[in-house]
Amino acid sequence: MIHRIAPLAVILAVLGTSVSAGLADARVLRSEDGSGTPSRTARGHTFRPYTLVRISAPTNVAKWPGGPTMGTLSGSTPLGSASWLWAVGRSIGGAWLQVVLPWRPNGRTGWIRRPAHRMATSISIQVDLSERRLALDRRGRTMAAFPAGVGAAQSPTPQGRFSVTDLVLTGDPQGPFGWFALGLSGHQPTLPPGWSGGDQLAIHGTNNPTSIGAAVSAGCVHVSSHALATLRRWAVLGTPVLVRP
């Protein structure tokens, strides 16, 4: 977890819903890879880039395009990062985008009007819990893979679709988070007893190397300093993170 209280908060450097049949605008084109333009990989496979969107001001989230409001997204995260979201679908015409929400419970999506600031990326982070492995993918192909520590039996790492919300230089390379952390849009609903570090999921380092490759964490994913250096080079705010069994 990423603490939202001192000392880390002080030292960090923040680098389907149902569709109404009566609304023509609510007809939806969906893609697990986002809503970018399909391209061809070197081996001829079709890859659809992931679409990331920037929320620069408070933005209402609808249950479906033009539907009732579910809530409001802020232009920044609780840790002070700019709000970037992963868009996993779009309405016919593209006026609305379906985004993965950083809200509880995990797995929620909602619809926002298409913002002005958007970008496409071919990068994603894939976490395999059974293999205890984190892979950095580019255009659907693994670029690099690393052993990963995952949640313990009493506090398992949640599965699902998430995105990177924060890029954090901890300022304490020897501390429990290592020198760098990627805050995620997900939350840990089953925190271990006595835990006081908040419920935001993260990918981070550790001062206990034996936890890498083991199931011992409070829910976060632990990787090596080398893995963090690779992730920092390629990941941006909004980067998709898929956690599978």
| pLDDT score for 38 | 57
Domains of the chain: 16-121 (2.30.30), 123-244 (2.40.440.10)
Q: Looking at the annotation, which residues are catalytic? A: 204, 220
Q: What angle do CA 155, 157, 162 make, to 5 degrees?
A: 145
Q: Cβ contacts of residue 166 below 8 Å, gap of 6+?
A: 2, 14, 77, 79, 81, 181, 182, 183, 237
pLDDT at 166: 98
Instruction: Report pLDDT digits (tens) over 212-239.
Output: 999 999 999 999 999 999 999 999 999 9
What pLDDT is attached to residue 2? 60
The model's pTM is: 0.86
* Stated length of the chain: 245
Could you say which residues of the chain have pLDDT below 50? 3-33, 35-37
